[in-house]
Amino acid sequence: MDLQTFFAQHPRTALAFSGGTDSAYLLCAALASGAQVRPYFVRTRFQPAFELADACRLCAELGVKLTVLEADVLACREIAANSPDRCWHCKRLLFTRLCEQAAADGFPTVIDGTNASDDAGDRPGMRALRELGILSPLRECGITKGEVRRRSRQAGLFTADKPSYACLATRIPAGEPITAALLQKIEAAEERVSNLGFTGFRVRIFHSCARLQLTTGQMPLAVELREELQKALRPDFDGVLLDLAPRPDVREEERNG
């Protein structure tokens, strides 16, 4: 199956839209196929402000209206407690909210941007999507992350080389309670590190310290800017640590996908 065929079979779809590379390309492909597609951004405390800004920008460039929904993830005890199945509870909450609104708006099918490179095993989040009947056309059509990036460049999407981004809750070790204050601290820290020129990184919590994960190519920059990194992170954390295990970059994604 290709995307043209998928959207011919599902002409009215609601898209879970994050503003990331995958959902951005999927929105573009749906519009190009002639489908009636409506993107929905479910805003929570787990997303930094730039994600919504990117989503709004992409929708404006494609000439489509973005619907923004609100969800209070920290009101869910299992999510706030950061239990091992937090992602299942979170996905259930967000996609239930989206499905209800999509149905009310007349969109019987809900899709997301899971691609063929993503692990489709029994992870809590993926299990929640299956339980709710969410379709993943990129995965169903065998389109990998690398292919999504290549097609996005051809389409002129500014999201083509945008690094993959996981929610802020993933920066906190399982079992450590998630609070609004801690999420704000992490978001601010990552914004300051980004302003120093780093991309594709994570600032993770480790015993009240900031553990910085970088791509291989940016390790030398961390050494060069070690004083600036200390100034950026030390005020909010007990220490600043550099993880020597590198994160993958966009080029590695393409080679592996």
The answer to whether 137 touches 6, Cβ cutoff 8 Å, is: yes
Query: In DSSP terms, which residues pair with 12 in a beta bridge?
Result: 36
Average pLDDT over residues 157-177: 94
Q: What pLDDT does residue 226 have? A: 94
133 near 159, Cβ under 8 Å? no
pLDDT at position 118, please? 85
What pLDDT shows up at residue 121? 65
State the DSSP H helix or E strand holding residue 24, giving kind and residue range, or none if neither: helix 21-33
> Is it the case that residue 110 has pLDDT exceeding 70?
yes
Interior angle at CA 137, CA 132 and CA 142, nearest 5: 125
Mean pLDDT lowest for which of 59-73, 113-127, 225-239?
113-127
Summarize pLDDT for 188-205 with one digit per residue, the tens.
Answer: 999 999 999 999 899 999
SS3 216: helix
Backbone conformation region of residue 106, classed left if phi is above 0, alpha if psi is from -120 to 50, else beta: left
Question: In this prediction, what percent of the chain has a pLDDT beyond 90?
Answer: 89
Cα 253 from Cα 208, distance rounded (Å):
31
Q: What per-residue confidence (pLDDT) applies to 256?
A: 47
Q: 24 and 157 in contact (C-beta within 8 Å)? A: yes
Can you say whether the dihedral through the CA atoms of 124, 130, 131, 132 is positive or negative?
Answer: positive
What's the one-letter identity of residue 168?
A: L
Phi-psi region of 112 (alpha: psi -120 to 50; beta: other; left: phi over 0): beta
Gap between the Cα atoms of 127 and 205, Å rounded? 27
CA 4/CA 151 separation, integer angstroms: 14
pLDDT tens-digit readout, 2-47? 999 999 999 999 999 999 999 999 999 999 999 999 999 999 999 9
**Per-residue confidence (pLDDT) for residue 122, from 0 to 100:** 65
130 close to 155: Cβ distance less than 8 angstroms: no
What mean pLDDT, rounded, does the chain reach? 93
